[in-house]
Amino acid sequence: MSQPSPISGFPEWLPAERIVEQQVLDALREVFELHGFASIQTRAVEPLDQLLRKGETSKEVYTLRRLQAEPDEPDDESSALGLHFDLTVPFARYVLENSGKLKFPFRRYQIQPVWRGERPQEGRYREFVQADIDIIDKDSLSFHHEVEIAQVMADVFARLPLPPVRLLVNSRKLIEGYYRGLGIADVDDAMRVVDKLDKIGAAGVEKTLVEDVGLSSEQARGCLALAEIAGDDASVRDRITALGVTHPLLDEGVDELVRVLEGTAGLRSDRFTVGADLAIARGLDYYTGTVYETRMEGFEHLGSICSGGRYDALASDGRTTYPGVGISLGVTRALAPLFSRGLLTASRSTPTAVLVALPADEQRAACTEVAAALRGRGIAVEVSPTAAKYGKQIRYAERRGIPFVWFPQGTEGHQVRDIRSGDQVDADPAAWVPPAEDLRPTITGPAAASD
Amino acid sequence: MSQPSPISGFPEWLPAERIVEQQVLDALREVFELHGFASIQTRAVEPLDQLLRKGETSKEVYTLRRLQAEPDEPDDESSALGLHFDLTVPFARYVLENSGKLKFPFRRYQIQPVWRGERPQEGRYREFVQADIDIIDKDSLSFHHEVEIAQVMADVFARLPLPPVRLLVNSRKLIEGYYRGLGIADVDDAMRVVDKLDKIGAAGVEKTLVEDVGLSSEQARGCLALAEIAGDDASVRDRITALGVTHPLLDEGVDELVRVLEGTAGLRSDRFTVGADLAIARGLDYYTGTVYETRMEGFEHLGSICSGGRYDALASDGRTTYPGVGISLGVTRALAPLFSRGLLTASRSTPTAVLVALPADEQRAACTEVAAALRGRGIAVEVSPTAAKYGKQIRYAERRGIPFVWFPQGTEGHQVRDIRSGDQVDADPAAWVPPAEDLRPTITGPAAASD
């Protein structure tokens, strides 16, 4: 094989980058579990007809086929399987399939790769890792879970080595109530046009609302006035009220939006802020209550790195409907641009904290015992692969960022050297421990420094 | 959607089973990292021509296609992509692709799903998780790493909640040297026949060796005599010597086999044993030194749950050859039969250790503060979803196996109840901790009890 090239859209990490990704995934898991979310994993494949229920994603699906499948193989389901493009469709199917064995409300997290056959670009990949949390109940789901999802993500972002992030919140009820209050009949069509505000501008939106959706100029300007409102606290209520539109669903949506803002007021920091942004329309088609998006400072061009919302029917089997609320963090989407800019890396490319030097090949068994003693106290250790000169063994450690080299010196006792400072001290394999900050690789870089 | 059915060969776990799998994967990761193996993950796909280099696996490969791909799409590589069927082919490619950025010898572990379009049965799946470790070097790789791989797996199996396992070791050099000493010209053909010993018996092997491979009866009986040898220590050397065959490669192979047995002598227990088994032939075609297989007690019908060996050319780019040694544990293969027999489960189906009861809806914010205080000390907590009667809230915890319910009782102070014993005591949200054994779900079942 000659030297292979990467495949566009299928990113892979070098060992130091993978250490960062692992620590990020560890932090996600820890926070999710502290909040009582249970892990599940679903198979990579779903029946194609399930994947194609959302029509617009159909072009992005990878289908599977056994290379040697017979064209008419009757019992081969693989001809109708595709790779999942998100973790929501598989989760909804999992809930229905196991509904008798799960306890509701069911809180789950799921961290897995997903696949989309899109044209790759920064922030958009053909294979990427998502981390999802959802709370799903039978028949009805209390609103307070919509506040809770934002609270969990506040805990998450406080722990991740990312640039500051801002969680943006909107409410489908608020928008729909306001539009109905304006007398707009086709709320969905109007929302889809307002969603293009970034692309076609206010004048373009107003023109399209009037000419294509059939709104009056006053209605169109009313839609634009609402989309301009953003804010961090209950003052958004006053600005909405000042627009003079009334509708019961609008009141309900405003109340809920304010509860999300107030429920996260104590969790904000210079790393994590929360704000209402009534221009967010993406996903309002699917969602029925609160909607979340997330912007990463300095990386606004990525769009939202963490999105979700409330569905009144995340799943349904005809008899029972399962409402849910959840959010999905694009792990690869957030990390890849930081890796490619060198903003995030690990203090070493290996878990190893100590290299046990090998004085001579005959002493490998003794060195392996030293290593085992250190491992017994949770210290990651390698024994030197060769009994080369000590200078060469030290360079082996240096090249990997391994901070300590252990010298087993027979009757004279053991010594350990911090190869960064050159300090070398007597040490007991049964007792020595490295400083806590050297035990495992640490994350370094400007993004981590904002900690 | 009506209630969906599982897809044969694509196993999924319920939350309690997933907790077991997570703890198994955590143990694997911890042991691998203590031994200095760095994590990598590779993309799910490889170019089809790479996947088909081992001819015999070609029928098992799933190929990928974008659903909406144009037949003549020039820049769409997806038409020539397949899902990886193991982690060795992707690792070899990763090493070549990143050879300039990796430090050799390179020690990596990799835990990921793989896919094979085989007919599903117990122990054989279409999607399953493997955990691989390999040590790879440039140009040459020291033999002692072949001992090390067995030592690492001894540490692994000491930690896993499996029935007792036995690591079986053989040596390609030993077999080849012995066969050459017998004057056999076509060693590979003879080995392939001996590999069928289980299926066609000694008489069938002898007949085939004579009639199809062209061996003399004496040579054929010599092959069978070697295959009968098994043993836990250096005494296998005497039994091999007693067969009266001599060859330099045989001596080298016997020496190496004995070094693996002796290097793991101190690591054996009632959970993990090691033995030479000279009937193991599987993989001798690919491997060039030590070969490993693993049997799980009571589950011998699964075959080997953990296999590997030494390659002299794990990868090669034409200029540099990369010899390697590694082993692959079939995580799904080992766990699925234990799950299906109810031999292995978790003490609860959720990470939650404490349910904070909700006296009234107005107190949700106060209850959320109690939960945050407990989480700050690493305790997984949920707040009750509803302010139902306390009896109902306690049943919510009971149904999930959550051991503690916290009652925030305003001015009278807080209390926490162990709902298994009914014991209820005063508790301070800023100080209380559950017993260590209740902090996280524990693994239960006969397989774990053998611990």
Q: What is the DSSP string of B249-299?
A: HHHHHHHHHHHHHHHTGGG--SSEEEEEETT--TTTTT-SSEEEEEEETT-
Query: Is the backbone of residue A413 left (phi > 0), alpha (psi -120 to 50) or beta?
Result: left
Q: Which of B34, B94, B115, B127 best probes binding to A when mutated, by most A CB atoms within 10 angstroms?
A: B34
Please report whether residue B50 resides in a domain: no
Please report whether residue A376 resides in a domain: yes
Residue A451 has pLDDT above 50, yes or no: no
Q: Give the neighbor-by-neighbor strand order of the sheet with A272-277.
A: A38-39, A106-115, A127-136, A321-330, A306-316, A290-296, A165-171, A272-277, A230-231
B96/A399 CB distance under 8 A: no
Cis peptide bond prior to A429, omega within 30° of 0: no
B62/A59 CB distance under 8 A: no
CA distance B225 to chain A (A): 33
Q: Which of B5, B61, B66, B135 best probes binding to A when mutated, by most A CB atoms within 10 angstroms?
A: B66
Distances in Å between the alpha carbon of A51 and those of A60, B19, B67, B163?
10, 28, 11, 39
Side-chain half-sphere CA neighbours of B167 within 13 A: 35
Which is higher by pLDDT, A79 or B298? B298
Where among B340, B363, B386 does a domain terminate? B340
Average pLDDT of the segment spanning B4-30: 96
* Mean pLDDT estimate for chain B: 93
Side-chain half-sphere CA neighbours of B451 within 13 A: 12
Residue A41 has pLDDT above 50, yes or no: yes
A61/B67 CB distance under 8 A: yes
- Pair (B374, B310) in one structural domain: no
Average pLDDT of the segment spanning B328-357: 96
- Pair (B174, B310) in one structural domain: yes
- Pair (B181, B235) in one structural domain: yes
d(CA A418, CA B287): 39
Q: Which residues of A touch B67 (CB under 8 A)?
A: 48, 58-63, 82, 117
Burial class (CB in 10 A: 0-12, 13-18, 19+), A86: middle
DSSP secondary structure code for residue A266 in this structure: G
Q: Which residues of A touch B318 (CB under 8 A)?
A: 1-2
Average pLDDT of the segment spanning B171-185: 96
Please report whether residue B265 resides in a domain: yes
Side-chain half-sphere CA neighbours of A303 within 13 A: 11
DSSP secondary structure code for residue A118 in this structure: P
d(CA B296, CA B322): 32
Q: Which residues of A touch B80 (CB under 8 A)?
A: none
The answer to whether B146 and B310 are in contact (CB under 8 A) is yes
Q: Would you state the pLDDT for residue A56? A: 56
Q: Which residues of B touch A3 (CB under 8 A)?
A: 96-97, 99, 317
Q: Would you state the pLDDT for residue A450? A: 45
The answer to whether A273 and A167 are in contact (CB under 8 A) is yes
Side-chain half-sphere CA neighbours of A371 within 13 A: 29
Contacts of B252 (CB under 8 A, 6+ apart): B173, B177
Contacts of A402 (CB under 8 A, 6+ apart): A348, A350, A352, A353, A354, A355, A382, A396, A419
pLDDT band at B62 (very low <50, low <70, confident <90, very high): very high
Please report whether residue A1 resides in a domain: no
- Pair (B329, B378) in one structural domain: no
- Pair (A168, A232) in one structural domain: yes
B59/A66 CB distance under 8 A: yes
Average pLDDT of the segment spanning B118-125: 89
CA distance A87 to chain B (A): 14
Is the predicted ipTM greater than 0.90, yes or no? yes
CA-based angle B151:B157:B161, to the nearest 5?
170
Contacts of A430 (CB under 8 A, 6+ apart): A373
d(CA B66, CA A58): 9
Chain A residue nearest residue B264, CA to CA: A365
Q: Which of B13, B49, B64 best probes binding to A when mutated, by most A CB atoms within 10 angstroms?
A: B64
Does the CB of B13 have a partner CB in chain A at under 8 Å?
A: yes
Q: Which of B19, B26, B29, B33 best probes binding to A when mutated, by most A CB atoms within 10 angstroms?
A: B33
B19/A39 CB distance under 8 A: yes
B137/A45 CB distance under 8 A: no
Phi, psi of A371 (to 5 degrees): -60, -45
Amino acid B446 reads: P
Burial class (CB in 10 A: 0-12, 13-18, 19+), A142: middle
Q: Would you state the pLDDT for residue A99? A: 95
B108/A15 CB distance under 8 A: yes
- Which span out of A314-318, B71-75, B447-451 was modeled with the highest average pLDDT? A314-318
B105/A151 CB distance under 8 A: no
Size of interface A-B (CB pairs under 8 A): 247
d(CA B234, CA B150): 16
Residue B449 has pLDDT above 50, yes or no: no
Distances in Å between the alpha carbon of A234 and those of A227, A257, A263, A268, A276?
17, 9, 11, 15, 9
Which is higher by pLDDT, A55 or B21? B21
Where among A325, A345, A365 does a domain terminate? A345
pLDDT band at A70 (very low <50, low <70, confident <90, very high): low
- Give the closest of B8, B102, B127 to A44, CB-based: B127
Chain B residue nearest residue A353, CA to CA: B36
- Pair (B209, B250) in one structural domain: yes
Q: Which of A50, A64, A370 best probes binding to B when mutated, by most B CB atoms within 10 angstroms?
A: A64
* pTM, rounded to two decimals: 0.95
The pLDDT tens digits for B290-307 are: 999 999 999 999 999 999
Q: Which of A21, A33, A354, A362 best probes binding to B when mutated, by most B CB atoms within 10 angstroms?
A: A33
- Pair (A331, A381) in one structural domain: no
Q: Would you state the pLDDT for residue A68? A: 73
Chain B residue nearest residue A314, CA to CA: B1
Q: Would you state the pLDDT for residue A73? A: 56
Where among A290, A318, A345 does a domain terminate? A345
Which residue's entry shows tokens 């611990």? B451
d(CA B289, CA B169): 10
**Helix, strand, coil percentages in chain A from 3-state DSSP, rounded to 5:** 40, 20, 40
The pLDDT tens digits for B133-146 are: 999 999 999 999 99
Residue A254 has pLDDT above 50, yes or no: yes
In three-state secondary structure terms, B326 is strand
Residue A75 has pLDDT above 80, yes or no: no
d(CA B285, CA B278): 15
d(CA A244, CA B163): 71
Chain A window 148-207: which residues touch B at a Cβ cutoff of 8 Å? 151, 155
Maximal CA-CA distance, chain B: 94
- Give the closest of A5, A18, A39 to B22, CB-based: A39
Q: Which residues of B touch A77 (CB under 8 A)?
A: 7-8
The pLDDT tens digits for B229-253 are: 999 999 999 999 999 999 999 999 9
CA distance A354 to chain B (A): 9
Q: Which of B5, B24, B40, B43 best probes binding to A when mutated, by most A CB atoms within 10 angstroms?
A: B43
pLDDT band at B75 (very low <50, low <70, confident <90, very high): very low
Q: Would you state the pLDDT for residue B182? A: 97
Q: What is the CATH number of the domain that holds A39?
A: 3.30.930.10
Which residue's entry shows tokens 């007597």? A426
Locate A179 and state its tokens: 């539009």
Q: Which residues of A touch B364 (CB under 8 A)?
A: 144
pLDDT band at A108 (very low <50, low <70, confident <90, very high): very high
- Pair (A311, A398) in one structural domain: no
* Total length of chain B: 451
Q: Would you state the pLDDT for residue A413? A: 87
The pLDDT tens digits for A426-448 are: 999 999 999 999 999 999 876 65
pLDDT band at A1 (very low <50, low <70, confident <90, very high): low
Please report whether residue A7 resides in a domain: no
- Pair (A265, A362) in one structural domain: no
Exposure string over A176-193, b if 16+ CB within 10 A, otherwise e = bbbbbbbebeebebbbbb
* Mean pLDDT estimate for chain A: 93
Q: Would you state the pLDDT for residue B323? A: 97
d(CA A441, CA A19): 8
Percent of chain A at pLDDT > 90 equals 85
Strand A272-277 vs strand A290-296: parallel, antiparallel, or unpaired?
unpaired
Average pLDDT of the segment spanning A75-91: 81
Does the CB of A54 have a partner CB in chain B at under 8 Å?
A: no
Does the CB of A38 have a partner CB in chain B at under 8 Å?
A: yes
CA distance A42 to chain B (A): 6
pLDDT band at A55 (very low <50, low <70, confident <90, very high): low
Does the CB of B25 have a partner CB in chain A at under 8 Å?
A: no
Does the CB of B90 have a partner CB in chain A at under 8 Å?
A: no
The answer to whether B42 and A12 are in contact (CB under 8 A) is yes
Which is higher by pLDDT, B95 or B3? B95
Query: For the ranges A254-263, A279-288, B267-276, which has the lowest average pLDDT?
Result: A279-288
Average pLDDT of the segment spanning B6-14: 96
Does the CB of A84 have a partner CB in chain B at under 8 Å?
A: no
- Give the closest of B3, B48, B83 to A96, CB-based: B3
DSSP A166-224: EEEEEEHHHHHHHHHHTT-S-HHHHHHHHTTHHHHHHHHHHHHHHHTS---HHHHHHHH
Residue A384 has pLDDT above 50, yes or no: yes
- Which residues on neighbouring strands pair with residue B346, listed in sequence order? B443
- Give the closest of B43, B58, B385 to A7, CB-based: B43
Strands (E), B81-194: 81-83, 106-115, 127-136, 165-171
Q: Which residues of A touch B346 (CB under 8 A)?
A: none
- Of the candidates B451, B13, B285, the one whose C-alpha atom is nearest the C-alpha of residue A39 is B13
- Pair (A358, A337) in one structural domain: no
B1/A103 CB distance under 8 A: no
Q: What is the CATH number of the domain that holds B382?
A: 3.40.50.800
Alpha carbon B121 to chain centroid distance? 18
- Pair (A334, A266) in one structural domain: yes
- Pair (A306, A360) in one structural domain: no
What range does the domain containing A327 cover? 15-345
Residue B56 has pLDDT above 80, yes or no: no
Q: Would you state the pLDDT for residue A439? A: 97
Locate B100 and state its tokens: 């300039």
Chain B residue nearest residue A44, CA to CA: B127
Q: How many structural domains compose chain B? A: 2
Q: Which residues of B touch A317 (CB under 8 A)?
A: 1-3
Average pLDDT of the segment spanning A411-435: 94
Average pLDDT of the segment spanning B324-337: 97
Residue A211 has pLDDT above 90, yes or no: yes
Residue A172 has pLDDT above 90, yes or no: yes
CA distance B255 to chain A (A): 15
pLDDT band at B72 (very low <50, low <70, confident <90, very high): low
Please report whether residue A3 resides in a domain: no
